[in-house]
């Protein structure tokens, strides 16, 4: 539902790419009357304005941000650290300032010094897409995605509350964390997997004397584990540099674990490791978007016939139950398929399961 009164009437987005452009589209979808200014290269601004992500744009920020209620720095990390002093110089203490960088401690150290009034709040929306740039922007990119905010001790609580409510209104799930905790968690759950995938791909594809000649034999497990190995280095250069301390700590733990496996792989001593891994893996929610509490899943088998999905969603719509996420998990052409429906709470999920069963659908127990 569109709401005309935004807590931030004038928003400036510095960097109108995938995240910045999606934010502009999401704001316009929720608050059509909000005025959004983009700051980026002229060709990017033209595409962003054509898509409706911004109302106007400028190639430089000097003199364009003074009247903003909210300023969002949506550039790469190195750009955020360079731009923050200019934003502090040309913005008001009444303006809420945030960023979208995926490493927070380094940004927060600068932000705390430059914004003594506590109006800077670090942020990290844990969302992405298959496409990059303004072409990949989408108004629903942040729907149900975790948006981490990293307030400091001196953060102004009024600014924090306004920003939190604003992001929740855009569909995000806000989580407050210490910047150091955020970077530690990110190093283990995001940055380490990236490096592990790169290492695995290079070992199998370059260093192993036989496997490198037969990559076409790679099965699903290998492909799943190395999917993110295709990520370009340009996307990761800033992250690796700004979070090097936490990443090195996670790498040391990972290397130590692998070295232990190397010592015991032929001694039958890895049973406990496998058991612990299986137990821990089963606690990881399948529908997490970032480090936040999961949604509640209901799995529904449907027959392969025209209109069946409309009947399923229609039954829930008539009961005014909102589906937070949906995924086609399995399908057998000509027979049927299984949908995973995700709901905000267990209570809503139970109601949905009951309604679906009454409507003739095969819905699992929760």
For residue 68 the two structure tokens come to: 């903003």
Does 10-177 match 182-281 in CATH topology? no
Q: What is the largest CA-CA distance in the chain?
A: 69
pLDDT, one tens digit per residue, over 341-359 is: 988 788 899 999 999 999 9
In Å, how far are 15, 59, 73, 242, 293 from 87, measured between CA atoms?
13, 14, 9, 21, 34
- Tell me what the pLDDT averaged over the chain comes to: 89
Between CA 253 and CA 91 the distance in angstroms is: 43
Maximum average pLDDT range among 58-62, 132-136, 193-197, 216-220: 193-197
Which band of pLDDT confidence, cut at 50, 70 and 90, is reported for residue 290? low
pLDDT at 64: 80
pLDDT, one tens digit per residue, over 221-255 is: 888 788 888 888 988 999 999 999 999 999 999 99
For the entire predicted model, the pTM comes to 0.75
For residue 126 the two structure tokens come to: 């844990």
pLDDT, one tens digit per residue, over 35-86 is: 999 999 999 999 999 999 999 999 988 778 988 999 999 999 999 999 999 9
Is 313:341 a contact under the CB 8 Å cutoff?
no
Between CA 156 and CA 159 the distance in angstroms is: 6
pLDDT over 70 (residue 279): yes
Domain-wise residue ranges, the chain:
10-177, 182-281, 296-363
In Å, how far are 34, 56, 108, 209 from 52, measured between CA atoms?
12, 10, 31, 53
Report the relative pairing of strands 146-150 and 120-125 from DSSP bridges.
antiparallel
pLDDT over 60 (residue 332): no
For 10-177, CATH gives 3.40.50.720
Which band of pLDDT confidence, cut at 50, 70 and 90, is reported for residue 119? very high
182-281: in CATH 3.40.50.2300: no
pLDDT at 208: 92
Between CA 201 and CA 215 the distance in angstroms is: 10
DSSP state for residue 95 in the 8-state scheme: S
For residue 172 the two structure tokens come to: 């995000």
Is 312:353 a contact under the CB 8 Å cutoff?
no
Domain 296-363's class?
Answer: alpha beta
């Amino acid at each position: 539902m569109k709401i005309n009164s935004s807590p931030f009437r004038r928003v400036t987005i510095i960097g109108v790419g995938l995240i910045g452009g999606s934010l502009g589209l999401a704001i316009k979808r929720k608050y059509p009357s909000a005025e959004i200014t983009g700051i980026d290269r002229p060709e990017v601004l033209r595409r962003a304005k054509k898509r409706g992500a911004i109302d106007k744009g400028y190639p430089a920020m000097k003199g364009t941000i003074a009247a903003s209620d909210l300023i969002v720095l949506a550039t790469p990390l190195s750009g955020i650290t360079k731009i923050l002093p200019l934003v502090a110089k040309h913005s008001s203490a009444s303006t809420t300032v945030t960023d979208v960088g995926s490493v927070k401690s380094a940004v927060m150290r600068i932000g705390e010094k430059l914004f003594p009034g506590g109006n800077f709040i670090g942020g990290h929306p844990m969302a992405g897409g298959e496409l990059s740039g303004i072409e990949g922007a989408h108004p629903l990119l942040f729907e149900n995605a975790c948006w981490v905010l990293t307030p400091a001790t001196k953060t102004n609580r009024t600014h924090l509350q306004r920003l939190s409510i604003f992001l929740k209104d855009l569909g995000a799930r806000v989580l407050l964390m210490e910047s150091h905790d955020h970077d530690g968690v990110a190093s283990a759950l995001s940055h380490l997997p990236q490096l592990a995938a790169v290492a695995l791909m290079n070992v199998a594809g370059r260093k192993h004397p036989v496997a490198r000649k037969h990559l076409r034999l790679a099965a699903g497990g290998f492909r799943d584990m190395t999917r993110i190995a295709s990520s370009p280095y340009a996307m990761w250069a800033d992250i690796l540099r700004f979070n090097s301390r936490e990443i090195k700590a996670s790498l040391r733990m990972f290397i130590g674990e692998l070295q232990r496996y190397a010592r015991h792989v032929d001694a039958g001593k890895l049973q406990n490791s496998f058991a612990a891994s299986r137990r821990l893996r089963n606690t990881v929610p399948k529908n997490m978007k970032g480090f936040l509490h999961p949604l509640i899943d209901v799995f529904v088998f449907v027959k392969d016939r025209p209109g069946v999905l409309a009947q399923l969603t229609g039954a829930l719509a008539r009961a005014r139950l909102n589906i937070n996420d949906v995924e086609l998990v399995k399908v057998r052409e000509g027979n049927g398929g299984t949908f995973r429906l995700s709901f905000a709470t267990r209570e809503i999920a139970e109601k949905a399961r009951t309604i679906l069963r009454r409507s003739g659908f095969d819905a699992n127990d929760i």
